[in-house]
């Protein structure tokens, strides 16, 4: 019986992963819309801190203001990113020449044939094709904007009547309270994570943009936007976010001056270190209650399923799974294993 149960579990996991991969085009816009809904809700709650807004401004008006603000910011940033990527694509041939100069200098100074080794490992390095792929990736992401907005509209319309529907489903008061408590706990945990992570990523991106601008790195806004997005990826995101503009500094100056490269590594790295190791733990605390090993594993799993967006969403999804598993008797042990210190809230 135990072997049958284990086999059934693996079969269910296989089916779920298959559905997640097949349904990527439907589920990702829905999850991103939910992500936006959390941000809108946080802005709405921030507005409610002013008593006159809380008492006199209708909920629908506050939701509309928050939604318009978010969409305006996203639209503005999207246009700037696409413009920067287009310029980067146009400048790619000159950067290709500089990259070859850097490889030749390293070979002459240290005797290391970097170009040949990289070509053997990842194939021919063509910055023009890389720039085109980058542009296509952003275009593909923004092409799903309509579906994201459509989902967002229906989520906002549904939130007002959701509690009533939940009460109708769970007619017994104790059952409703238990489910409602779980949803409130998920809401609070994810809202806190998303709001704090967004604020910290914004601080990191703004500070990095100032540093890159002062050093004179091309497309500073684009690299700052990449830093903002990559900082949502746990553990490895900050490392990649530092590496990209540093490599840009190396390619931009063609190896004639290594000072910008060193400055980017040092100062952007210090910003990442201060925000990630000091500011984030202070603001986030241990509210997520996730094991560090589980964070890395979920990063790998969701990255394999949904790519970069899966990596960004890996922590919120895992938090939600732990909270749900902790409320179900049959999966409570799983929640304990996934938690940071093996401590979860009792039912």
Give residue 211's pLDDT. Answer: 92
| CA dist 48 → 54, 112, 183 (Å) | 4, 61, 21
> How many C-beta atoms lie closer than 10 Å to residue 312's C-beta?
24
What 41-50 contacts at long range (C-beta under 8 Å, 24+ apart), as own/partner pairs, is: 41/66, 41/191, 42/191, 42/194, 42/195, 43/69, 43/70
Cα gap 14→90, rounded to integer Å = 44
pTM of the predicted protein model: 0.76
Give residue 120's pLDDT. Answer: 47
Cα gap 294→325, rounded to integer Å = 15
- Looking at residue 181, what DSSP letter applies? H
Per the CB < 8 A criterion, the answer to whether 131 and 93 are in contact is no
Give residue 121's pLDDT. Answer: 41
> Is the C-alpha dihedral spanning 195, 200, 205, 210 positive or negative?
positive
Per the CB < 8 A criterion, the answer to whether 145 and 75 are in contact is no
Domain boundaries, the chain: 25-160
Give residue 81's pLDDT. Answer: 74
Give residue 122's pLDDT. Answer: 40
Phi, psi of 53 (to 5 degrees): -70, -45
Per-residue pLDDT tens digits of the chain, which is 347 residues long: 556 666 666 677 777 777 777 877 778 888 888 888 888 888 888 888 888 888 888 888 888 888 888 888 877 777 777 777 777 777 767 776 766 666 666 666 655 555 555 454 444 445 455 455 555 555 555 667 778 888 888 888 888 787 788 777 777 778 778 888 888 888 887 888 888 888 888 999 999 999 999 988 888 888 888 888 888 887 788 888 888 888 888 787 766 677 888 899 899 989 988 888 888 877 776 556 777 788 888 888 888 888 777 888 888 888 888 877 777 776 777 777 777 766 666 55
């Amino acid at each position: 019986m135990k072997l049958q149960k284990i086999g059934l579990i693996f079969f269910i996991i296989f089916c779920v992963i298959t559905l997640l991969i097949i349904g990527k085009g439907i589920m990702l816009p829905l999850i991103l819309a939910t992500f936006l809904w959390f941000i809108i809700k946080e802005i709405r709650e921030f507005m409610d801190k002013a008593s006159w807004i809380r008492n006199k401004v209708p909920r629908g008006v506050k939701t509309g203001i928050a939604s318009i603000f978010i969409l305006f910011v996203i639209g503005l940033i999207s246009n700037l990113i696409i413009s920067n990527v287009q310029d980067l694509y146009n400048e790619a041939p000159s950067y290709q020449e500089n990259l070859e100069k850097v490889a030749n200098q390293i070979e002459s100074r240290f005797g290391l044939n970097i170009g040949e080794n990289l070509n053997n490992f990842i194939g021919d390095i063509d910055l023009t094709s890389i720039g085109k792929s980058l542009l296509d990736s952003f275009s593909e992401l923004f092409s799903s904007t309509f579906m994201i907005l459509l989902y967002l509209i229906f989520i906002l319309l549904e939130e007002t009547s959701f509690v009533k529907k939940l009460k109708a489903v769970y007619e017994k008061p104790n059952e409703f309270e238990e489910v409602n408590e779980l949803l409130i706990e998920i809401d609070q945990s994810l809202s806190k994570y998303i709001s704090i992570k967004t604020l910290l990523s914004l601080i990191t991106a703004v500070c990095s943009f100032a540093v890159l601008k002062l050093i004179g790195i091309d497309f500073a806004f684009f690299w700052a936007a990449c830093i903002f997005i990559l900082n949502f990826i746990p553990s490895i995101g900050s490392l990649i976010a530092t590496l990209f503009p540093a490599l840009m500094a190396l390619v931009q100056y063609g190896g004639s001056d290594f000072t910008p490269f060193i400055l980017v590594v040092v100062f952007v790295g210090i910003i990442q270190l201060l925000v990630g190791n000091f500011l984030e733990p202070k603001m986030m605390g241990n509210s997520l209650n996730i094991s560090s090993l589980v964070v890395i594993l979920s990063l790998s799993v969701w990255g394999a399923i949904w790519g970069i967006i899966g990596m960004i969403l890996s922590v919120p999804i895992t938090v939600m799974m732990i909270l749900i598993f902790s409320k179900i008797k049959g999966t409570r042990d799983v929640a304990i294993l996934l938690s940071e210190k093996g401590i979860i809230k009792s039912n």
